[in-house]
Amino acid sequence: MKNIFGSALQICLFGESHGAAIGVVMDGLAPGIPLDLEGIRRQLDRRRAKGNISTARRETDAFQIVSGFFEGYTTGTPLCLLIPNQDQHSKDYEKTRYLPRPSHADYTAQAKYLGYQDYRGGGHFSGRITAPLVAAGAICQQILREKGIRLGTHIARCGGVDDEPLPQEEQALQKALEKLDQEEFPALSLDRWAKMVRAIQRAHEKGDSVGGILETAVVGMPAGVGEPFFDSVESTLSHLLFSVPAVKGVEFGLGFGFADQLGSQANDPFRYENGRAITATNHNGGINGGITNGMPLVVRTVVKPTPSIYLEQETVDLREQKNTTLQIQGRHDPAILHRARAVVDAVAAIGLVDLFAQRYGTLWMRKNP
Amino acid sequence: MKNIFGSALQICLFGESHGAAIGVVMDGLAPGIPLDLEGIRRQLDRRRAKGNISTARRETDAFQIVSGFFEGYTTGTPLCLLIPNQDQHSKDYEKTRYLPRPSHADYTAQAKYLGYQDYRGGGHFSGRITAPLVAAGAICQQILREKGIRLGTHIARCGGVDDEPLPQEEQALQKALEKLDQEEFPALSLDRWAKMVRAIQRAHEKGDSVGGILETAVVGMPAGVGEPFFDSVESTLSHLLFSVPAVKGVEFGLGFGFADQLGSQANDPFRYENGRAITATNHNGGINGGITNGMPLVVRTVVKPTPSIYLEQETVDLREQKNTTLQIQGRHDPAILHRARAVVDAVAAIGLVDLFAQRYGTLWMRKNP
Amino acid sequence: MKNIFGSALQICLFGESHGAAIGVVMDGLAPGIPLDLEGIRRQLDRRRAKGNISTARRETDAFQIVSGFFEGYTTGTPLCLLIPNQDQHSKDYEKTRYLPRPSHADYTAQAKYLGYQDYRGGGHFSGRITAPLVAAGAICQQILREKGIRLGTHIARCGGVDDEPLPQEEQALQKALEKLDQEEFPALSLDRWAKMVRAIQRAHEKGDSVGGILETAVVGMPAGVGEPFFDSVESTLSHLLFSVPAVKGVEFGLGFGFADQLGSQANDPFRYENGRAITATNHNGGINGGITNGMPLVVRTVVKPTPSIYLEQETVDLREQKNTTLQIQGRHDPAILHRARAVVDAVAAIGLVDLFAQRYGTLWMRKNP
Amino acid sequence: MKNIFGSALQICLFGESHGAAIGVVMDGLAPGIPLDLEGIRRQLDRRRAKGNISTARRETDAFQIVSGFFEGYTTGTPLCLLIPNQDQHSKDYEKTRYLPRPSHADYTAQAKYLGYQDYRGGGHFSGRITAPLVAAGAICQQILREKGIRLGTHIARCGGVDDEPLPQEEQALQKALEKLDQEEFPALSLDRWAKMVRAIQRAHEKGDSVGGILETAVVGMPAGVGEPFFDSVESTLSHLLFSVPAVKGVEFGLGFGFADQLGSQANDPFRYENGRAITATNHNGGINGGITNGMPLVVRTVVKPTPSIYLEQETVDLREQKNTTLQIQGRHDPAILHRARAVVDAVAAIGLVDLFAQRYGTLWMRKNP
């Protein structure tokens, strides 16, 4: 299951950065979902390069749904969404075809695909391929929203700057997620975001890049979703999150913070509140034994600094079989966190819809009457 | 794919802690592998409760291979390995059937399985179910070893104590893994391990528990294994690691350490050494774009403190629908890291064998002539 | 997906005829199904060798459910059902280890498993391995029955003798299926069955064997189950039916009878009857475009004559690499149709439950309140 | 796995007959296959409507490969092939939107997709959707051909006319398949084909349609490919064949002809010839126990008469909920056998490549050096 994910809802991804088009096929959507095309555009817009902290490559992400969508509704048959590629500077990559960029996939693609890979712009490894993933995720977010499940992601940390923390209390958290959905900046605090932007710009001026941590929360999940072993909520979401380029770590709840805790500190006691069993704390991020317990899901994802920096780097010449140096040309993001958060939202939504559909069936995806 | 994992090599897990038996079916093994039964016993032994820092429940993990194994070799047909359960104190769990233990799966199992779950000893959520997983992993470790691929896991941190770090240099790392394989203690430094044991015992005396971080390395991987998106090495391994009870975070290479790095610090430059392209540093943990680059794989897994502590905890009574308290009886581990490392080794091996078999075919698993 | 079938409900089969045990794991059953163990025994009994038209090997098929079943109900976790092997005459197979029996899997197993297969009694290819499949199917038949869906199989033709045809009219067909379920003989007409038995005995006396055709009907299916392309009802059922040893053909409705028809003869016109859309004829066997239309499903399966005959046959000696002859010893069925019909019932039920669960979710399997 | 097929090589199909485009994604192709685009066009051409025994709808099947193909070779990443739809007379279908055509998928699509299906031209159920399947199959046929494996399909019977039988002897069979590949008529005998055409035309003049039987052979298969149970060669091929619209029966070797045979007549004795073990007869169609034995594969598929006939038919009005009649307009094939044979070739190739790749790995698909 290489470029296909899922059990009940299957996502098939394809495309190269400088190929004719990139796209996704979604197989297993319920019929009769009135697709919010504007919502898809909105998520694609969040993913896109904008302003002076992103790559100068201008893409419009105009998409076309060529199947599975008729008279405003999903048909229930496979839905194929295509995004033609634009504004490709293929020449940027020819000179460096045999010079693998450090920490990129150039070298490993060569090893795996034996030289036949489309090397331009990172080919199938480019962050561009996350665009159709975001479109598919937007559809899943719509499905979840209609079930009262809301999710959102903020930049928890970037360039040494911490955002405000997510509220613990569920109503406040709900409000924070709504704000993240409405506002254009990808943080809880505009002030902290401004500081992050300055840190990104400083790195950019030096020809360098930064990474950071994205934090995602989901509210409204019922208890009982997920599987004990191989399709636990953590397994499902991490499988998808680690598919996103540049992700190198995923943690749930306290995550690595559990390492220095005692059980008495880490455990989440149960109590009834308004007739519903909740946990007094939520160190487990809403998941016990791989299954949701009804508390908000909390997951953090680390995104490494964008490998494409403008400083000179050491590399090898695969054709001449010798050591050399490389100075990357072209147009690259000094940071991708503010764009990657749309991708993280998307894959989280995809994973959750698949888990729901396994339990409740394909028809669950339809709006409650 | 709930309790079944894999594409080329499929692992199907079953069993409850207090049921008749637990086990695993491995479908897709190559024929003609001379199984090292002693090696399986050895890994099961590493997983088992021993000494005074583990649960008092004594299991022998005697296993029986009932199919797929004939005259000393795998047949290539599905191999079913069974482990009968022993030394079960089922009475320990009856009184607390409706009192979900905080941070355990009791509550979520109730939500998912509507009250029909086997609640005794954690049922299908018990760490016990990792025993057949360890057996399957032992077979995979044998397959990898015959291809010159060696892996091992040490406790990087526990109870506030850090182990020595893994060597960076490949030969030294190889030696360290061999030592981890031969010695009984699960750390690089016996002295640090002793300190960890004391920390565990101190927690145990207080009726509490501790967690920690496991660090795994794999040497000998060729470049080119893994898939760009949904079956990247990180996705495959994290999917398996998060299936292990108590795991709440997984990171590769620098992992969350990338958050505060610049690209110029984080990138791994390429160079030729002895005719082979390597990276000068290995911040990416041997994986670029989801695919191995030939450098050692490095992954860290956080294990939360064992939820079962002897201190009184707040919980709810699901039958009476009211708040109450709970004091866990029975025999529980104050820490499971030293046992969990065998599970981490196992699932890492399973995931890697599956990725290899997808690329090279089932017959790849057979010993080189 | 070699020995594992299914999407929502997954069936994992294992075992060799002369190994310790054979069995099945069912992953994806809903929790809270009160298993009818007697029903499982009954189906196993139908499959078993009995009387003088079957093999003399006596098996009791005593089974044990070692997981996924607690206090009388399915838990929803993976259910493993084991059947120990008994009454094995392993010596019967030793002399002929390198003499592949014509039309058996001996030669192909050698080619696939490179000599490592368990050759005794047909190993993993033995009809014996259908026993756990029948047990799994019995559970699925119970699930279907509680939804008002009933199925049954009769021997349509054997040894040149035709059974009475299945009634076309739905109520009469329902009665016929109930009768097939209650009676011990596997035909609609006791008289025709007696003739079939005589034909089988005549072949047996000559050391030969016969084949025939099984016909299965399913009533009570709602319209809308199945998928247009790769998981059509025909694809799903034929995939399972062709997994049964000795099956060499599957047809739906008129099947190969369509070859000489005109469209005007073959088409099934629609009409309303009692407020429900039905078809005036049912040449399509209840399936249009791969999806059920509410009419009874009708499928026919041809079972080739049992390859194990007592007459001398030409074969090769794989060790000496020369032509030779073989006279099979041991205890073999002159016909297996009356046993195979339980297997056909079983796999049909498994396939249908999987298709239902994909559409309606795992929880669909639970009894209506 | 609804519209996705395969394990090692996965095929994802999408599209509606009157939608923007139809297509397929192939995930798991090896890198470095020099695609024979002319070969793809050729197979699409064989599938297309031509002459006066086919629908008058003119399609050019111009296709575009938008990913996974670079500088003349497969990259190894997912390959998406698109075929825009043309010459659509959507108006033809509006008047009859609520009048399900007998034996078509209109009614069942309504039941499954709750009225949201794209009803025009049969939507996702149209035979048109087999075009991308044929393109994918052409790529698989190229892969097989480079391994010395050749396949082909002739119309064995149509309109009461039998073609000449396939030769039994392997060299003669090889020649017959080559001829089928080169010639434009889909039979072994031009004279018999002429008779079939006349039968088709006679039906057409009466506004009716005919069906028939396609027979496929594959030579050059090594022994050992396939799985004993759920992915037997018969299961894999029938799963794909029954996905093709209008297919209602599949048989291997003697198929339903086995029903009246004795074991002594049916069995295929083994013998050595030129150092290779062959069978004296090939009643089993090259498959024993689900696995190839090296003899030619022989499979027959029955295609029912095209449901779209011009005679008046009885049906229901789903909106008015009453009985009515229907006279189909538009442009329909009186027979599709001569077109369907390209689809049968295609899916047979897809299934075989998937089975090979499971055994030998993705890289097996590459040309022998």
Higher pLDDT, A369 or B167: B167
pLDDT at C320 > cutoff 80: yes
Q: What is the reported pLDDT for D57?
A: 61
- Which B residues 80-139 touch A at CB under 8 Å? 100, 102-105, 107-109, 111-112, 124-125, 129
Q: Do B251 and A256 lie within an 8 Å CB cutoff?
A: yes
Cα B69 to its chain centre, rounded Å, is 24
* Residues of C whose CB is below 8 A from B15: 66-67, 78, 80
Residues C67 and A262: their CA atoms lie apart, in Å, by: 33
pLDDT at C134 > cutoff 80: yes
Element (H, E) at C182: helix C170-182
- Backbone φ, ψ for residue B162 (5° rounding): -95, 140
Q: Do D290 and C250 lie within an 8 Å CB cutoff?
A: no
Q: Residue type for D319, please?
A: R
Question: Which chains does chain C touch, 3 or more C-beta pairs < 8 A?
Answer: A, B, D
Q: What is the reported pLDDT for A96?
A: 83
User: What pLDDT digit, counting tens, does each position of C204-213 carry?
Assistant: 999 999 999 9
DSSP C249-271: EEEETTGGGGGG-BHHHH---EE
Q: Do D25 and A12 lie within an 8 Å CB cutoff?
A: yes
* Whole-number CA gyration radius for chain B: 21
Check if the beta carbon of residue A54 is closer than 8 Å to that of residue A87: no
Q: Do D1 and C231 lie within an 8 Å CB cutoff?
A: yes
Q: Do A359 and C360 lie within an 8 Å CB cutoff?
A: no
Check if the beta carbon of residue A214 is closer than 8 Å to that of residue A180: no
Q: How confident is the model at residue B331 (pLDDT cuts 50, 70, 90)?
A: confident
User: What pLDDT digit, counting tens, does each position of B32-84 carry?
Assistant: 999 999 999 999 999 986 766 766 566 778 999 999 999 999 999 999 999 99
Say yes or no: B324 contacts chain D, CB-CB below 8 A: no
By Cβ distance, the residue of A160, A226, A275 closest to B260 is A160
Say yes or no: C15 contacts chain D, CB-CB below 8 A: no
Mean pLDDT of chain B: 93
Q: What is the reported pLDDT for A332?
A: 80
Q: Do D251 and C288 lie within an 8 Å CB cutoff?
A: no
* Residues of B whose CB is below 8 A from C16: 67-68, 70, 75, 77
Residue D231, CA distances (Å) to A4, B218, C125, D238 in order: 20, 33, 13, 10
D130-145 and D337-360 helices, crossing angle to 10°: 50
CA A8 to chain C, closest CA, distance in angstroms equals 7
Question: Which chains does chain B touch, 3 or more C-beta pairs < 8 A?
Answer: A, C, D
Which tokens in the block code for residue A33?
């979902």
User: What pLDDT digit, counting tens, does each position of C82-92 carry?
Assistant: 999 876 667 76
Helix (H, G, I), strand (E, B) or coil at C342: helix
Q: Residue type for B17, please?
A: S
Produce one character per residue of A22-52: b if its CB has 16 or more CB atoms within 10 Å, e if not. Answer: bbbbbbbbbbbbebeeeebeebbebbbbeee
pLDDT at B1 > cutoff 80: no
Give, as one character, the DSSP assignment of residue D305: P
Q: Do A360 and C358 lie within an 8 Å CB cutoff?
A: no
Residues A79 and D19: their CA atoms lie apart, in Å, by: 11
* Residues of A whose CB is below 8 A from B105: 228, 288-291
Say yes or no: D4 contacts chain A, CB-CB below 8 A: yes
3-state SS track over A284-296:
CCCEECCEECCCC
Q: What is the reported pLDDT for C259?
A: 97
pLDDT at A56 > cutoff 70: no
Residues D147 and D315: their CA atoms lie apart, in Å, by: 50
DSSP A331-358: ---S--HHHHHHHHHHHHHHHHHHHHHH
Residues A155 and A162: their CA atoms lie apart, in Å, by: 8
Question: Which chains does chain A touch, 3 or more C-beta pairs < 8 A?
Answer: B, C, D
Element (H, E) at A83: strand A79-84
Give, as one character, the DSSP assignment of residue B160: T
Helix (H, G, I), strand (E, B) or coil at A27: strand
By Cβ distance, the residue of A14, A78, A115 closest to D78 is A14
- Best of B206, B208, B264, B327 to mutate (most A CBs within 10 Å, chain A): B264
User: What pLDDT digit, counting tens, does each position of B131-145 carry?
Assistant: 999 999 999 999 999
Mean pLDDT of C156-174: 96
- Backbone φ, ψ for residue D102 (5° rounding): -55, 135
DSSP C138-158: HHHHHHHHTTT-EEEEEEEEE
Q: Residue type for B311, please?
A: L
Mean pLDDT of A309-313: 93
* Residues of C whose CB is below 8 A from A358: 8, 361-362
Helices (H) and strands (E) in chain A, counts: 9, 18
* Residues of B whose CB is below 8 A from A15: none
Q: What is the reported pLDDT for A55?
A: 65
CA B358 to chain D, closest CA, distance in angstroms equals 6
Listed in sequence order, the residues at least 6 apart from C172 whose beta carbon sits closer than 8 Å to its beta carbon are none
Describe chain D by its helix, strand, coil percentages, rounded to 5.
35, 25, 40
DSSP D99-124: SPPTTSSHHHHHHHHTT-S--GGGGG
Q: What is the reported pLDDT for C60?
A: 75
CA D221 to chain B, closest CA, distance in angstroms equals 18
Produce one character per residue of C222-258: b if its CB has 16 or more CB atoms within 10 Å, e if not. Answer: ebbbbbbbbbbbbbbbbbbbbbbbbbbbbbbbbbbbb
User: What pLDDT digit, counting tens, does each position of C188-233 carry?
Assistant: 999 999 999 999 999 999 999 999 999 999 999 999 999 888 999 9
CA C233 to chain B, closest CA, distance in angstroms equals 21
User: What pLDDT digit, counting tens, does each position of B177-229 carry?
Assistant: 999 999 989 999 999 999 999 999 999 999 999 999 999 999 999 999 998 88
Q: What is the reported pLDDT for B58?
A: 64
Residues D309 and D332: their CA atoms lie apart, in Å, by: 8
Total-model pTM:
0.96
Q: What angle do CA B245, B249, B250 make, to 5 degrees?
A: 105
pLDDT at A326 > cutoff 90: yes
Q: Do A264 and B208 lie within an 8 Å CB cutoff?
A: yes
* Residues of B whose CB is below 8 A from D363: 359-361
* Residues of A whose CB is below 8 A from C7: 7-8
Residues A85 and A117: their CA atoms lie apart, in Å, by: 17
Q: Residue C297: name the closest of C253, C238, C235, C240 by CA.
A: C253
Instruction: Residue count of chain A, please give it.
Output: 369
Say yes or no: A364 contacts chain B, CB-CB below 8 A: no
Listed in sequence order, the residues at least 6 apart from A205 whose beta carbon sits closer than 8 Å to its beta carbon are none
Q: In what order do the strands lie in the sheet with A64-67?
A: A4-5, A10-14, A21-27, A79-84, A64-67
Say yes or no: A270 contacts chain C, CB-CB below 8 A: no
Say yes or no: B75 contacts chain D, CB-CB below 8 A: no
* Residues of A whose CB is below 8 A from B17: none
Q: Which residue in D has a C-alpha nearest to residue B362's C-alpha?
A: D359
Q: What is the reported pLDDT for D60?
A: 75
Mean pLDDT of A284-313: 96
Check if the beta carbon of residue B185 is closer than 8 Å to that of residue B123: no
pLDDT at B175 > cutoff 80: yes
Residues B108 and C28: their CA atoms lie apart, in Å, by: 17
User: What pLDDT digit, counting tens, does each position of B78-118 carry?
Assistant: 999 999 987 666 776 788 889 999 999 999 999 999 999 99
Cβ-in-10-Å burial (0-12, 13-18, 19+) of B314 comes to middle
CA D91 to chain C, closest CA, distance in angstroms equals 22
- Which A residues 281-310 touch B at CB under 8 Å? 283-285, 287-294, 300, 302-309
Could you give the percent of chain A with pLDDT greater than 90?
A: 85
Say yes or no: C280 contacts chain B, CB-CB below 8 A: no
The low-confidence residues of chain D, meaning pLDDT below 70, are 1, 49, 51-52, 54-58, 87-89, 92, 369
Q: What is the reported pLDDT for C162?
A: 98
Which tokens in the block code for residue C193?
């069955």
Say yes or no: A27 contacts chain B, CB-CB below 8 A: no
- Best of C221, C235, C299 to mutate (most D CBs within 10 Å, chain D): C235
Q: What is the reported pLDDT for A60?
A: 75
Mean pLDDT of B161-173: 96
Q: Would you say the ipTM is above 0.85?
A: yes
Q: What is the reported pLDDT for C58?
A: 64
CA B117 to chain D, closest CA, distance in angstroms equals 28
Listed in sequence order, the residues at least 6 apart from A320 whose beta carbon sits closer than 8 Å to its beta carbon are A98
